[in-house]
Amino acid sequence: MAETMQFDLVSPERSLASLQVREALIPGANGDMVAMPDHAPLITTLRPGILRVDGPGGTAEYLVSGGFAEINGEGLSVLAEKALPLSEVTREHVDELIASAREAHEKAREEFKNEPGPVDDAAKLLADMVALGDHIRV
C-alpha cells in the first residue's frame, strides 16, 4: 500500500493545493469521509465544511462551500465552489457565504412555493453555512 496520495484542491478563483497526503477528511454531502491511498474510486458532492488533509508536511485545513470530490487510484481531486485556507478565513468571508445561502433560500421559497424539495435543500445549505461559521469561530 502506498504511504501517500496526490491531493489537488481547486476553486474557480485559484488552485489552492497540490501535494502528497496520507489522508483527507472530506465533508461529503452524505457525511464526512476519510480518503487514504488506494481508496476505492468514488465521486461525491461536498457540503459546506472543513476539508482537512494530513501529510508528511503536516496538516492543512480548508473551508469549502460545496463542490465535488473525486477519489481515484492515484489520489484525490477536489473541485470546490468556493475554497479558502482556514487560516485566511475572516468573519466577512463567513458572513458573505451565509448571506448568499440566505438569498438562495429566499429565492427558492418564492419560486417553489408548493415544491418542498428545492426549498428544503436551500434551507439545509443555509443551516450548514451558519453551523460552519459557529464551528470555526472567526
The answer on pLDDT for 15 being more than 60 is: yes
pTM above 0.85, yes or no: no
- Range 72-89 average pLDDT: 91
Query: Is CATH 2.60.15.10 correct for 5-86?
Result: yes
The answer on pLDDT for 43 being more than 80 is: yes
Q: In this predicted structure, what is the pLDDT of residue 9?
A: 97
The answer on pLDDT for 124 being more than 70 is: yes
- Range 115-124 average pLDDT: 79
Can you state the angle between helices 91-111 and 116-136, rounded to 10 degrees? 170
Domains of the chain by residue range:
5-86, 89-136
Q: DSSP code of 124?
A: H
Q: In this predicted structure, what is the pLDDT of residue 10?
A: 97
